């Protein structure tokens, strides 16, 4: 066994990422079932807006042509979790909208309350989407926003090959 790991014939990257996407569904499913967020928990969910199956209003897809981040915290409604994705009602600038997001489109999940984060590569997404602002669907003023890099509970799935 040399230090140059051979190309894997088993797609571990993909298998692990697929498995971890189930975390997003399970966490949202528990919120759906219990009817609310426990304690101070809240979620920043970033997804690829061009991914097949994503359904968002046109003004959002125009503003966020690559990725957008939504906040599940103060005002959200009709959260429904299915096998392949979730739908949720959110308000953007006072305008209500229903968003449908397949789990396969999710690139980041972040719960600032306990600094838990998951980072994915969106399936079939381009490698480096540009930086984007959070969609500001009613995040409070004093929220400390995106602190993923400081988190103690960050799971980043990145099995970079050595060659």
Question: Which one among 41, 50, 63, 100 touches a second copy, defined by CB under 8 A?
Answer: 41
At its nearest, how many Å lie between a second copy and the CB of residue 60? 27
Q: Does 55 bind a second copy (CB under 8 A)?
A: no
Task: Report the C-alpha gap between 111 and 31 in whole angstroms.
Answer: 13
Q: Does 50 bind a second copy (CB under 8 A)?
A: no
Q: Where would I find the H helices in 35-130?
A: 58-63
Q: Does 77 bind a second copy (CB under 8 A)?
A: no
Only one of the segments 20-28, 59-67, 96-104, 132-140 lies at the binding site for a second copy (rule: CB under 8 A); that segment is 20-28
* Residue list 138-157, contact with a second copy (CB under 8 A): 144, 147, 152-153, 155, 157
Question: Which one among 36, 39, 94, 140 touches a second copy, defined by CB under 8 A?
Answer: 39
Torsions phi, psi for 45 (to 5 deg) = -120, 120
Only one of the segments 56-64, 96-104, 114-122, 123-131 lies at the binding site for a second copy (rule: CB under 8 A); that segment is 114-122
Task: Report the C-alpha gap between 161 and 62 in whole angstroms.
Answer: 36
Question: CA nearest 81: which of 4, 26, 158?
Answer: 26
Extract long-range pairs of 142-147: CB within 8 Å, 24+ residues apart: 143/71, 143/73, 143/112, 144/112, 145/112, 146/44, 146/69, 146/110, 147/112, 147/115
Q: Does 16 bind a second copy (CB under 8 A)?
A: yes
Q: Where would I find the H helices in the chain?
A: 12-34, 58-63
At its nearest, how many Å lie between a second copy and the CB of residue 58? 34
- The binding site for a second copy (CB under 8 A) comprises 1, 5-6, 8-10, 12, 15-16, 18-20, 22-23, 26-27, 30, 38-41, 111-116, 144, 147, 152-153, 155, 157, 159-160, 162
């Amino acid at each position: 066994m040399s230090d140059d790991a051979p190309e894997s014939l088993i797609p571990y990257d993909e298998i692990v990422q697929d498995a971890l996407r189930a975390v997003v569904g399970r966490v949202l499913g528990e919120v759906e079932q219990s009817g609310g967020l426990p304690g101070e928990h809240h979620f920043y969910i970033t997804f690829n807006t061009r991914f097949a199956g994503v359904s968002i209003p046109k003004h959002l897809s125009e503003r966020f042509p690559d990725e957008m981040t939504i906040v599940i915290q103060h005002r959200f409604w009709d959260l429904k979790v299915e096998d392949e994705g979730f739908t949720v009602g959110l308000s953007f600038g006072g305008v209500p909208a229903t968003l449908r997001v397949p789990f396969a489109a999710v690139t980041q999940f972040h719960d600032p309350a306990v600094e838990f984060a998951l980072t994915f590569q969106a399936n079939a997404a381009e490698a480096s989407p540009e930086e984007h602002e959070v969609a500001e669907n009613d995040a409070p003023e004093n929220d400390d926003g995106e602190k993923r890099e400081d988190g103690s509970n960050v799971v980043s799935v990145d099995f970079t090959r050595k060659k």
